[in-house]
A and B are shown apart, each in its own frame.
Chain A
Protein backbone atom coordinates (compact mmCIF):
# COMPACT_ATOMS: atom_id res chain seq x y z
CA UNK A 1 0.00 0.00 0.00
CA UNK A 2 2.85 2.38 0.83
CA UNK A 3 4.34 1.62 -2.57
CA UNK A 4 1.11 2.60 -4.29
CA UNK A 5 0.81 5.80 -2.29
CA UNK A 6 4.32 6.71 -3.37
CA UNK A 7 3.45 6.11 -7.01
CA UNK A 8 0.28 8.18 -6.82
CA UNK A 9 2.04 10.99 -4.99
CA UNK A 10 4.77 10.93 -7.59
CA UNK A 11 2.25 11.18 -10.39
CA UNK A 12 0.51 14.11 -8.77
CA UNK A 13 3.64 16.07 -7.99
CA UNK A 14 5.65 15.40 -11.12
CA UNK A 15 3.03 16.21 -13.72
CA UNK A 16 3.57 19.41 -15.58
CA UNK A 17 0.80 21.92 -16.09
CA UNK A 18 1.35 23.00 -19.66
CA UNK A 19 -0.77 25.86 -20.84
CA UNK A 20 -0.37 27.98 -23.86
CA UNK A 21 -1.16 31.33 -25.28
CA UNK A 22 -2.04 32.69 -28.66
CA UNK A 23 -3.50 35.88 -30.07
CA UNK A 24 -5.60 36.90 -33.03
CA UNK A 25 -5.00 39.55 -35.67
CA UNK A 26 -8.54 40.87 -35.75
CA UNK A 27 -11.03 41.73 -33.04
CA UNK A 28 -13.94 39.63 -34.30
CA UNK A 29 -12.09 36.27 -34.40
CA UNK A 30 -12.86 35.98 -38.11
CA UNK A 31 -12.28 32.66 -39.84
CA UNK A 32 -12.57 31.08 -43.24
CA UNK A 33 -16.06 29.56 -43.28
CA UNK A 34 -15.11 26.46 -45.27
CA UNK A 35 -12.77 23.63 -44.36
CA UNK A 36 -10.82 23.76 -47.59
CA UNK A 37 -8.66 26.85 -48.10
CA UNK A 38 -6.35 27.18 -51.13
CA UNK A 39 -3.09 29.09 -50.91
CA UNK A 40 -2.25 30.61 -54.29
CA UNK A 41 0.86 32.41 -55.53
CA UNK A 42 0.68 35.46 -57.77
CA UNK A 43 2.07 34.67 -61.21
CA UNK A 44 4.11 37.83 -61.70
CA UNK A 45 7.88 37.57 -61.51
CA UNK A 46 9.65 38.14 -58.20
CA UNK A 47 12.85 40.00 -58.99
CA UNK A 48 14.77 39.86 -55.73
CA UNK A 49 13.44 36.94 -53.69
CA UNK A 50 15.94 34.48 -55.07
CA UNK A 51 13.24 31.93 -55.86
CA UNK A 52 10.86 31.53 -58.76
CA UNK A 53 7.08 31.63 -58.43
CA UNK A 54 6.98 27.91 -59.01
CA UNK A 55 9.53 27.44 -56.21
CA UNK A 56 7.32 29.56 -53.98
CA UNK A 57 4.32 27.43 -54.83
CA UNK A 58 6.24 24.27 -53.94
CA UNK A 59 7.26 25.85 -50.64
CA UNK A 60 3.61 26.67 -49.98
CA UNK A 61 2.88 22.95 -50.32
CA UNK A 62 5.53 22.18 -47.71
CA UNK A 63 4.32 24.99 -45.46
CA UNK A 64 0.73 23.80 -45.33
CA UNK A 65 1.54 20.10 -45.10
CA UNK A 66 4.42 20.27 -42.63
CA UNK A 67 2.73 22.78 -40.35
CA UNK A 68 -0.97 23.67 -40.39
CA UNK A 69 -2.34 20.47 -41.89
CA UNK A 70 -0.71 18.47 -39.10
CA UNK A 71 -3.07 19.80 -36.42
CA UNK A 72 -5.11 16.83 -35.14
CA UNK A 73 -7.96 18.89 -33.70
CA UNK A 74 -8.54 21.41 -36.46
CA UNK A 75 -11.16 21.08 -39.17
CA UNK A 76 -9.10 23.14 -41.60
CA UNK A 77 -7.39 21.61 -44.60
CA UNK A 78 -5.12 23.97 -46.44
CA UNK A 79 -3.98 23.05 -49.90
CA UNK A 80 -1.39 24.24 -52.32
CA UNK A 81 -3.22 26.31 -54.92
CA UNK A 82 -1.87 27.50 -58.23
CA UNK A 83 -0.04 30.36 -59.91
CA UNK A 84 -2.68 33.06 -60.26
CA UNK A 85 -2.66 36.10 -62.53
CA UNK A 86 -3.40 39.29 -60.60
CA UNK A 87 -3.21 43.00 -61.36
CA UNK A 88 0.11 44.83 -61.30
CA UNK A 89 -1.05 46.65 -58.17
CA UNK A 90 -0.23 43.55 -56.11
CA UNK A 91 3.41 43.92 -57.13
CA UNK A 92 3.85 47.53 -56.07
CA UNK A 93 1.06 49.03 -53.96
CA UNK A 94 0.80 49.07 -50.15
CA UNK A 95 -1.41 46.53 -48.45
CA UNK A 96 -2.98 49.19 -46.27
CA UNK A 97 -4.05 52.67 -47.30
CA UNK A 98 -3.76 53.72 -43.68
CA UNK A 99 -2.23 52.27 -40.54
CA UNK A 100 -3.40 54.96 -38.16
CA UNK A 101 -3.58 53.75 -34.58
CA UNK A 102 -2.03 50.45 -35.58
CA UNK A 103 -5.15 49.39 -37.49
CA UNK A 104 -4.91 48.60 -41.19
CA UNK A 105 -7.38 49.95 -43.70
CA UNK A 106 -7.06 47.42 -46.52
CA UNK A 107 -6.11 48.73 -49.93
CA UNK A 108 -9.23 48.15 -52.10
CA UNK A 109 -7.01 47.47 -55.12
CA UNK A 110 -5.53 44.42 -53.45
CA UNK A 111 -8.64 42.66 -52.20
CA UNK A 112 -8.28 38.88 -52.45
CA UNK A 113 -11.51 37.30 -53.61
CA UNK A 114 -10.96 33.82 -52.16
CA UNK A 115 -8.43 31.80 -50.18
CA UNK A 116 -4.96 33.09 -49.41
CA UNK A 117 -2.84 34.83 -52.02
CA UNK A 118 0.94 35.26 -51.78
CA UNK A 119 2.43 38.04 -53.86
CA UNK A 120 5.91 39.52 -53.93
CA UNK A 121 5.85 43.28 -53.59
CA UNK A 122 8.45 45.95 -54.28
CA UNK A 123 6.82 48.42 -51.90
CA UNK A 124 6.88 51.60 -53.97
CA UNK A 125 3.74 53.14 -52.47
CA UNK A 126 2.89 54.82 -49.21
CA UNK A 127 2.52 53.92 -46.41
CA UNK A 128 5.41 51.50 -46.71
CA UNK A 129 4.67 47.81 -46.39
CA UNK A 130 8.05 46.78 -45.06
CA UNK A 131 10.16 48.53 -42.49
CA UNK A 132 13.80 47.53 -42.22
CA UNK A 133 14.29 43.79 -41.80
CA UNK A 134 10.63 42.89 -42.30
CA UNK A 135 10.24 40.00 -44.72
CA UNK A 136 6.48 39.90 -45.19
CA UNK A 137 3.16 41.47 -44.26
CA UNK A 138 -0.16 39.64 -44.10
CA UNK A 139 -3.64 41.14 -44.06
CA UNK A 140 -6.95 39.28 -44.04
CA UNK A 141 -8.24 41.99 -46.37
CA UNK A 142 -11.60 40.57 -47.36
CA UNK A 143 -13.62 40.10 -44.16
CA UNK A 144 -17.40 40.14 -43.99
CA UNK A 145 -18.99 39.82 -40.54
CA UNK A 146 -16.88 37.07 -38.99
CA UNK A 147 -15.95 35.39 -42.27
CA UNK A 148 -12.58 35.73 -43.94
CA UNK A 149 -13.15 35.50 -47.67
CA UNK A 150 -9.60 36.29 -48.64
CA UNK A 151 -6.19 37.05 -47.15
CA UNK A 152 -3.18 38.70 -48.73
CA UNK A 153 0.47 37.92 -48.00
CA UNK A 154 2.96 40.41 -49.40
CA UNK A 155 6.56 39.19 -49.56
CA UNK A 156 9.29 41.81 -49.42
CA UNK A 157 10.78 41.81 -52.94
CA UNK A 158 13.03 44.81 -52.45
CA UNK A 159 16.72 44.46 -53.25
CA UNK A 160 17.75 44.36 -49.61
CA UNK A 161 15.19 41.75 -48.49
CA UNK A 162 16.47 39.17 -46.02
CA UNK A 163 14.18 36.36 -47.19
CA UNK A 164 16.60 35.43 -49.97
CA UNK A 165 19.37 34.72 -47.44
CA UNK A 166 17.40 32.18 -45.44
CA UNK A 167 17.67 28.43 -45.85
CA UNK A 168 14.94 26.58 -47.70
CA UNK A 169 13.48 25.20 -44.46
CA UNK A 170 13.41 28.62 -42.86
CA UNK A 171 11.74 30.11 -45.93
CA UNK A 172 9.07 27.41 -45.67
CA UNK A 173 8.59 28.25 -41.99
CA UNK A 174 8.31 31.97 -42.82
CA UNK A 175 5.59 31.22 -45.37
CA UNK A 176 3.83 28.99 -42.82
CA UNK A 177 3.98 31.83 -40.27
CA UNK A 178 2.40 34.26 -42.74
CA UNK A 179 -0.26 31.72 -43.68
CA UNK A 180 -1.08 31.56 -39.95
CA UNK A 181 -1.75 35.30 -40.04
CA UNK A 182 -3.86 34.76 -43.14
CA UNK A 183 -5.99 32.34 -41.12
CA UNK A 184 -6.63 34.96 -38.43
CA UNK A 185 -3.91 34.28 -35.87
CA UNK A 186 -1.73 36.95 -34.28
CA UNK A 187 1.69 36.61 -32.74
CA UNK A 188 2.68 34.39 -29.83
CA UNK A 189 5.01 35.52 -27.06
CA UNK A 190 6.89 32.20 -26.88
CA UNK A 191 9.78 31.04 -29.03
CA UNK A 192 8.61 27.49 -29.56
CA UNK A 193 5.58 28.65 -31.51
CA UNK A 194 5.52 29.16 -35.24
CA UNK A 195 3.63 32.41 -34.60
CA UNK A 196 6.49 33.85 -32.55
CA UNK A 197 7.28 37.31 -33.91
CA UNK A 198 10.78 36.42 -35.12
CA UNK A 199 12.01 33.73 -37.49
CA UNK A 200 14.02 30.88 -35.95
CA UNK A 201 16.19 28.70 -38.21
CA UNK A 202 15.34 25.49 -36.34
CA UNK A 203 11.59 25.79 -36.77
CA UNK A 204 10.25 22.41 -37.86
CA UNK A 205 6.65 22.09 -36.70
CA UNK A 206 3.77 23.81 -34.94
CA UNK A 207 4.00 24.64 -31.25
CA UNK A 208 1.33 24.36 -28.59
CA UNK A 209 0.19 27.96 -29.04
CA UNK A 210 -0.25 27.46 -32.77
CA UNK A 211 -2.23 24.29 -32.26
CA UNK A 212 -4.50 25.87 -29.66
CA UNK A 213 -5.01 28.97 -31.76
CA UNK A 214 -5.94 26.94 -34.81
CA UNK A 215 -8.20 24.66 -32.75
CA UNK A 216 -9.87 27.71 -31.23
CA UNK A 217 -10.64 29.23 -34.61
CA UNK A 218 -11.20 26.03 -36.60
CA UNK A 219 -12.24 23.27 -34.18
CA UNK A 220 -12.94 19.72 -35.28
CA UNK A 221 -16.57 18.66 -34.93
CA UNK A 222 -16.38 14.90 -35.30
CA UNK A 223 -18.35 12.78 -35.87
CA UNK A 224 -21.27 15.07 -36.59
CA UNK A 225 -20.54 18.05 -38.78
CA UNK A 226 -23.49 20.09 -39.88
CA UNK A 227 -27.05 18.80 -40.05
CA UNK A 228 -27.32 15.11 -40.61
CA UNK A 229 -23.87 14.50 -41.99
CA UNK A 230 -21.38 12.24 -40.31
CA UNK A 231 -17.69 12.60 -40.84
CA UNK A 232 -14.53 11.28 -39.31
CA UNK A 233 -12.26 13.74 -40.99
CA UNK A 234 -12.43 16.48 -43.52
CA UNK A 235 -10.50 14.90 -46.32
CA UNK A 236 -13.53 13.14 -47.65
CA UNK A 237 -13.61 15.29 -50.74
CA UNK A 238 -10.34 13.78 -51.86
CA UNK A 239 -11.14 10.21 -50.92
CA UNK A 240 -11.92 7.57 -53.46
CA UNK A 241 -15.37 6.63 -52.35
CA UNK A 242 -14.09 5.40 -49.00
CA UNK A 243 -15.42 8.22 -46.85
CA UNK A 244 -17.63 8.10 -43.77
CA UNK A 245 -20.37 6.18 -45.56
CA UNK A 246 -17.98 3.35 -46.27
CA UNK A 247 -16.67 3.52 -42.74
CA UNK A 248 -20.20 3.29 -41.31
CA UNK A 249 -20.96 0.38 -43.64
CA UNK A 250 -17.79 -1.44 -42.62
CA UNK A 251 -18.48 -0.90 -38.93
CA UNK A 252 -22.03 -2.23 -39.34
CA UNK A 253 -20.63 -5.20 -41.23
CA UNK A 254 -18.23 -5.85 -38.37
CA UNK A 255 -20.94 -5.60 -35.75
CA UNK A 256 -23.13 -7.89 -37.83
CA UNK A 257 -20.31 -10.41 -38.08
CA UNK A 258 -19.78 -10.29 -34.33
CA UNK A 259 -23.46 -10.82 -33.61
CA UNK A 260 -23.57 -13.63 -36.14
CA UNK A 261 -20.60 -15.40 -34.60
CA UNK A 262 -22.09 -14.92 -31.17
CA UNK A 263 -25.35 -16.46 -32.36
CA UNK A 264 -23.47 -19.42 -33.82
CA UNK A 265 -21.64 -19.92 -30.55
CA UNK A 266 -24.72 -19.76 -28.36
CA UNK A 267 -26.54 -22.15 -30.66
CA UNK A 268 -23.68 -24.59 -30.38
CA UNK A 269 -23.20 -24.83 -34.13
CA UNK A 270 -19.70 -23.37 -33.91
CA UNK A 271 -17.24 -23.75 -31.10
Chain B
Protein backbone atom coordinates (compact mmCIF):
# COMPACT_ATOMS: atom_id res chain seq x y z
CA UNK B 1 0.00 0.00 0.00
CA UNK B 2 2.72 2.42 0.99
CA UNK B 3 4.75 1.58 -2.09
CA UNK B 4 1.92 2.09 -4.55
CA UNK B 5 0.08 5.14 -3.49
CA UNK B 6 0.30 8.86 -4.08
CA UNK B 7 3.42 8.86 -6.18
CA UNK B 8 2.03 6.18 -8.44
CA UNK B 9 -1.32 7.90 -8.74
CA UNK B 10 0.41 11.10 -9.75
CA UNK B 11 2.58 9.28 -12.27
CA UNK B 12 -0.50 7.65 -13.73
CA UNK B 13 -2.26 10.98 -13.92
CA UNK B 14 0.69 12.65 -15.56
CA UNK B 15 0.89 9.83 -18.06
CA UNK B 16 -2.85 10.06 -18.59
CA UNK B 17 -2.69 13.80 -19.18
CA UNK B 18 0.25 13.51 -21.52
CA UNK B 19 -1.53 10.73 -23.34
CA UNK B 20 -4.78 12.59 -23.80
CA UNK B 21 -3.21 15.95 -24.57
CA UNK B 22 -0.44 14.92 -26.90
CA UNK B 23 -0.71 11.41 -28.23
CA UNK B 24 -4.37 11.55 -29.10
CA UNK B 25 -4.23 14.81 -30.99
CA UNK B 26 -2.90 13.43 -34.29
CA UNK B 27 -5.66 10.83 -34.50
CA UNK B 28 -8.26 13.44 -33.78
CA UNK B 29 -6.83 15.66 -36.46
CA UNK B 30 -7.09 12.85 -38.97
CA UNK B 31 -10.73 12.27 -38.30
CA UNK B 32 -11.89 15.88 -38.10
CA UNK B 33 -9.57 17.89 -40.26
CA UNK B 34 -11.87 20.77 -41.09
CA UNK B 35 -13.33 21.91 -37.81
CA UNK B 36 -13.08 20.85 -34.21
CA UNK B 37 -16.03 18.84 -32.95
CA UNK B 38 -18.46 20.20 -30.41
CA UNK B 39 -17.84 19.47 -26.76
CA UNK B 40 -19.38 16.02 -26.79
CA UNK B 41 -21.15 14.33 -29.69
CA UNK B 42 -22.49 10.84 -30.01
CA UNK B 43 -20.48 8.87 -32.50
CA UNK B 44 -21.57 5.24 -32.33
CA UNK B 45 -22.87 2.48 -30.17
CA UNK B 46 -21.77 -1.10 -30.09
CA UNK B 47 -22.77 -4.60 -29.17
CA UNK B 48 -20.31 -7.39 -28.63
CA UNK B 49 -19.50 -10.77 -27.20
CA UNK B 50 -16.33 -12.17 -25.76
CA UNK B 51 -14.59 -14.15 -23.09
CA UNK B 52 -13.73 -12.76 -19.65
CA UNK B 53 -11.20 -14.35 -17.32
CA UNK B 54 -11.34 -13.10 -13.74
CA UNK B 55 -8.42 -12.68 -11.37
CA UNK B 56 -5.72 -14.09 -13.63
CA UNK B 57 -2.99 -16.09 -11.88
CA UNK B 58 -4.60 -15.69 -8.48
CA UNK B 59 -6.45 -18.93 -7.83
CA UNK B 60 -5.48 -22.59 -7.70
CA UNK B 61 -7.37 -24.63 -10.27
CA UNK B 62 -6.14 -28.19 -9.84
CA UNK B 63 -4.57 -30.60 -7.41
CA UNK B 64 -1.10 -29.98 -8.82
CA UNK B 65 -1.12 -26.34 -7.75
CA UNK B 66 -1.60 -24.68 -11.15
CA UNK B 67 -3.12 -21.24 -11.14
CA UNK B 68 -5.86 -19.89 -13.37
CA UNK B 69 -4.59 -18.40 -16.61
CA UNK B 70 -7.16 -18.37 -19.41
CA UNK B 71 -10.56 -19.79 -18.64
CA UNK B 72 -12.99 -17.31 -20.20
CA UNK B 73 -16.63 -16.92 -19.37
CA UNK B 74 -18.98 -15.85 -22.13
CA UNK B 75 -19.56 -12.12 -21.74
CA UNK B 76 -22.02 -9.88 -23.55
CA UNK B 77 -21.24 -6.19 -23.69
CA UNK B 78 -22.44 -2.91 -25.13
CA UNK B 79 -21.05 0.57 -25.36
CA UNK B 80 -21.67 4.15 -26.40
CA UNK B 81 -18.84 6.04 -28.03
CA UNK B 82 -18.51 9.81 -28.09
CA UNK B 83 -16.46 12.34 -29.96
CA UNK B 84 -14.96 15.19 -27.96
CA UNK B 85 -12.08 17.59 -28.35
CA UNK B 86 -8.85 15.59 -28.42
CA UNK B 87 -10.29 12.34 -27.09
CA UNK B 88 -13.04 9.81 -27.67
CA UNK B 89 -14.92 9.17 -24.42
CA UNK B 90 -16.85 5.96 -23.99
CA UNK B 91 -19.32 4.30 -21.67
CA UNK B 92 -19.55 0.52 -21.71
CA UNK B 93 -21.18 -2.23 -19.72
CA UNK B 94 -21.15 -5.99 -19.84
CA UNK B 95 -22.12 -9.12 -18.01
CA UNK B 96 -21.21 -12.76 -17.94
CA UNK B 97 -24.02 -15.25 -18.32
CA UNK B 98 -25.39 -16.42 -14.97
CA UNK B 99 -24.04 -19.92 -14.65
CA UNK B 100 -24.53 -23.00 -12.58
CA UNK B 101 -21.89 -25.68 -12.69
CA UNK B 102 -20.26 -27.89 -10.17
CA UNK B 103 -22.95 -27.03 -7.68
CA UNK B 104 -26.38 -26.38 -9.18
CA UNK B 105 -27.47 -24.59 -6.02
CA UNK B 106 -25.16 -21.62 -6.47
CA UNK B 107 -25.52 -19.05 -9.23
CA UNK B 108 -22.73 -16.66 -9.96
CA UNK B 109 -22.14 -13.98 -12.52
CA UNK B 110 -20.15 -10.78 -12.81
CA UNK B 111 -20.99 -7.53 -14.52
CA UNK B 112 -19.26 -4.22 -15.00
CA UNK B 113 -19.79 -0.62 -16.09
CA UNK B 114 -16.85 1.46 -17.27
CA UNK B 115 -16.17 4.92 -18.58
CA UNK B 116 -13.06 6.57 -19.91
CA UNK B 117 -11.38 7.94 -22.97
CA UNK B 118 -9.70 6.42 -25.95
CA UNK B 119 -7.40 7.52 -28.67
CA UNK B 120 -7.77 6.37 -32.28
CA UNK B 121 -4.88 5.92 -34.65
CA UNK B 122 -5.86 5.82 -38.30
CA UNK B 123 -4.07 2.97 -40.10
CA UNK B 124 -5.79 3.55 -43.44
CA UNK B 125 -9.56 3.21 -43.44
CA UNK B 126 -11.21 1.12 -42.24
CA UNK B 127 -8.25 -0.07 -40.20
CA UNK B 128 -7.61 1.79 -36.97
CA UNK B 129 -5.96 1.12 -33.66
CA UNK B 130 -7.48 2.29 -30.39
CA UNK B 131 -5.93 2.71 -26.97
CA UNK B 132 -8.19 3.31 -24.04
CA UNK B 133 -8.09 3.94 -20.33
CA UNK B 134 -10.72 4.64 -17.72
CA UNK B 135 -12.37 3.62 -14.49
CA UNK B 136 -15.34 1.44 -13.69
CA UNK B 137 -17.22 -0.72 -11.29
CA UNK B 138 -17.08 -4.49 -11.32
CA UNK B 139 -19.73 -6.41 -9.47
CA UNK B 140 -20.18 -10.10 -8.76
CA UNK B 141 -23.50 -11.61 -7.77
CA UNK B 142 -23.46 -14.85 -5.78
CA UNK B 143 -26.74 -16.39 -4.79
CA UNK B 144 -28.07 -19.64 -3.44
CA UNK B 145 -31.37 -21.04 -2.24
CA UNK B 146 -30.06 -22.65 0.93
CA UNK B 147 -30.20 -26.32 1.88
CA UNK B 148 -27.36 -28.56 2.97
CA UNK B 149 -24.58 -30.61 1.45
CA UNK B 150 -23.34 -33.78 3.02
CA UNK B 151 -19.55 -33.70 2.91
CA UNK B 152 -16.66 -35.50 4.50
CA UNK B 153 -15.66 -33.97 7.82
CA UNK B 154 -12.71 -35.67 9.46
CA UNK B 155 -13.49 -39.36 9.67
CA UNK B 156 -17.23 -38.90 9.22
CA UNK B 157 -19.69 -36.99 7.09
CA UNK B 158 -21.70 -33.97 8.18
CA UNK B 159 -24.39 -31.78 6.65
CA UNK B 160 -22.95 -28.38 5.89
CA UNK B 161 -25.39 -25.50 5.36
CA UNK B 162 -25.58 -23.83 1.97
CA UNK B 163 -25.96 -20.05 1.83
CA UNK B 164 -29.45 -18.70 1.45
CA UNK B 165 -29.69 -15.33 -0.23
CA UNK B 166 -27.73 -13.09 -2.56
CA UNK B 167 -24.53 -11.11 -2.14
CA UNK B 168 -23.20 -8.50 -4.53
CA UNK B 169 -19.56 -7.49 -4.33
CA UNK B 170 -18.52 -4.09 -5.67
CA UNK B 171 -15.00 -3.19 -6.76
CA UNK B 172 -13.66 -0.01 -8.29
CA UNK B 173 -11.50 -0.97 -11.24
CA UNK B 174 -9.04 0.72 -13.53
CA UNK B 175 -9.58 -0.09 -17.20
CA UNK B 176 -6.94 -0.42 -19.89
CA UNK B 177 -7.48 -1.66 -23.39
CA UNK B 178 -6.41 -2.00 -26.98
CA UNK B 179 -8.75 -2.42 -29.91
CA UNK B 180 -8.41 -2.84 -33.61
CA UNK B 181 -10.85 -2.02 -36.40
CA UNK B 182 -10.14 -4.53 -39.12
CA UNK B 183 -13.30 -4.10 -41.14
CA UNK B 184 -16.01 -1.49 -41.34
CA UNK B 185 -18.05 -1.57 -38.13
CA UNK B 186 -16.15 -4.53 -36.66
CA UNK B 187 -13.85 -4.01 -33.71
CA UNK B 188 -11.66 -6.51 -31.88
CA UNK B 189 -10.92 -5.50 -28.31
CA UNK B 190 -8.60 -6.66 -25.55
CA UNK B 191 -9.45 -5.06 -22.23
CA UNK B 192 -7.88 -5.46 -18.83
CA UNK B 193 -9.58 -4.63 -15.56
CA UNK B 194 -7.32 -3.89 -12.61
CA UNK B 195 -8.85 -4.58 -9.19
CA UNK B 196 -7.60 -2.78 -6.09
CA UNK B 197 -5.04 -0.74 -8.03
CA UNK B 198 -3.79 0.98 -4.90
CA UNK B 199 -3.46 -2.09 -2.77
CA UNK B 200 -0.66 -4.53 -3.49
CA UNK B 201 -2.13 -7.04 -1.02
CA UNK B 202 -5.02 -8.14 -3.22
CA UNK B 203 -4.46 -6.43 -6.55
CA UNK B 204 -5.74 -8.59 -9.40
CA UNK B 205 -6.34 -8.50 -13.14
CA UNK B 206 -9.20 -9.65 -15.29
CA UNK B 207 -9.03 -9.88 -19.06
CA UNK B 208 -11.79 -9.50 -21.61
CA UNK B 209 -11.32 -10.35 -25.28
CA UNK B 210 -14.29 -9.41 -27.41
CA UNK B 211 -15.64 -8.81 -30.89
CA UNK B 212 -17.90 -5.78 -31.26
CA UNK B 213 -20.15 -4.41 -33.98
CA UNK B 214 -20.42 -0.63 -34.16
CA UNK B 215 -23.57 1.20 -35.22
CA UNK B 216 -23.21 4.81 -36.34
CA UNK B 217 -25.39 7.25 -34.48
CA UNK B 218 -25.46 10.07 -36.99
CA UNK B 219 -24.44 8.59 -40.29
CA UNK B 220 -27.56 9.69 -42.15
CA UNK B 221 -27.76 13.00 -40.35
CA UNK B 222 -24.30 13.93 -41.46
CA UNK B 223 -25.20 13.25 -45.07
CA UNK B 224 -28.39 15.29 -44.87
CA UNK B 225 -26.83 18.21 -43.06
CA UNK B 226 -26.31 21.28 -45.31
CA UNK B 227 -22.74 22.38 -45.59
CA UNK B 228 -22.70 25.38 -43.33
CA UNK B 229 -19.08 26.17 -43.79
CA UNK B 230 -19.11 26.51 -47.58
CA UNK B 231 -19.30 30.06 -48.78
CA UNK B 232 -22.12 30.30 -51.36
CA UNK B 233 -21.74 33.19 -53.76
CA UNK B 234 -25.07 34.26 -55.25
CA UNK B 235 -24.71 36.42 -58.32
CA UNK B 236 -26.51 39.68 -57.82
CA UNK B 237 -28.27 40.94 -60.81
CA UNK B 238 -29.51 44.32 -61.22
Contacts and interface: CB of A to CB of B under 8 A. Distances in A.
A23 to B, nearest CB: 4
B160 to A, nearest CB: 4
A16 B72 CA distance: 6
Contact of A17 (B73, B140, B198): B73
Interface in A137-154: none
B78 interface: no
B186 A4 contact: yes
B29 interface: no
B59 A206 contact: yes
A22 B106 contact: yes
B198 to A, nearest CB: 6
Given A16-B73, A186-B161, A247-B9, A212 B149 contact: no
Nearest to A67: B60
Nearest to B63: A191
B101 A206 contact: no
A133 B169 contact: no
Nearest to B72: A15
A37 to B, nearest CB: 14
A215 B142 contact: yes
A108 B140 CA distance: 39
A223 B1 contact: no
Contact of A257 (B17, B101, B171, B203): B17
Interface stretch (A83-91, A116-124, A236-244): A236-244
A253 B85 CA distance: 20
Nearest to A249: B6
B183 interface: yes
Contacts of B65: 202-204
Given A16-B73, A187-B151, A212-B108, A73 B51 contact: no
A28 B159 CA distance: 14
Interface in A239-271: 239-240, 242, 246-247, 250-251, 253-254, 257-258, 261-262, 265-266
Given A15-B72, A23-B151, A200 B17 contact: no
A15 B160 contact: no
Contact of B1 (A189, A239, A251): A239
B219 to A, nearest CB: 19
A131 interface: yes
A219 interface: yes
B160 A69 contact: no
Contacts of A212: 106, 108, 142
A163 to B, nearest CB: 14
Contact of A233 (B153, B169, B198): B198
Interface string A172-204: 000000000000001111111110011010111
A73 B169 contact: yes
A72 B203 contact: yes
User: A-side binding surface: helix, strand, loop or mixed?
Assistant: loop
Contacts of B6: 242, 246, 250
Given A4-B186, A73-B195, A235 B201 contact: yes
B158 interface: yes
Contact of B149 (A23, A74, A220, A242): A23
Contacts of B197: 232
B106 A15 contact: no
B55 to A, nearest CB: 6
Contacts of A17: 73-74, 97, 99, 101
A197 B152 contact: yes
Given A4-B211, A8-B211, A12-B74, A70 B201 contact: yes
Interface of B: 1-2, 5-6, 9-10, 13, 16-17, 20-21, 49-51, 55, 58-65, 67-68, 71-74, 85-86, 97, 99-103, 105-108, 137, 140, 142, 148-149, 151-156, 158-165, 167-172, 183, 186, 195-199, 201-204, 209, 211
10 residue pairs, one from A and one from B, having the closest CB atoms: A19-B101, A21-B103, A23-B160, A186-B160, A72-B204, A202-B65, A219-B169, A254-B13, A73-B169, A242-B5
Given A215-B169, A217-B167, A240-B5, 6 more contacts: A69-B201, A72-B195, A197-B153, A200-B63, A222-B170, A265-B86
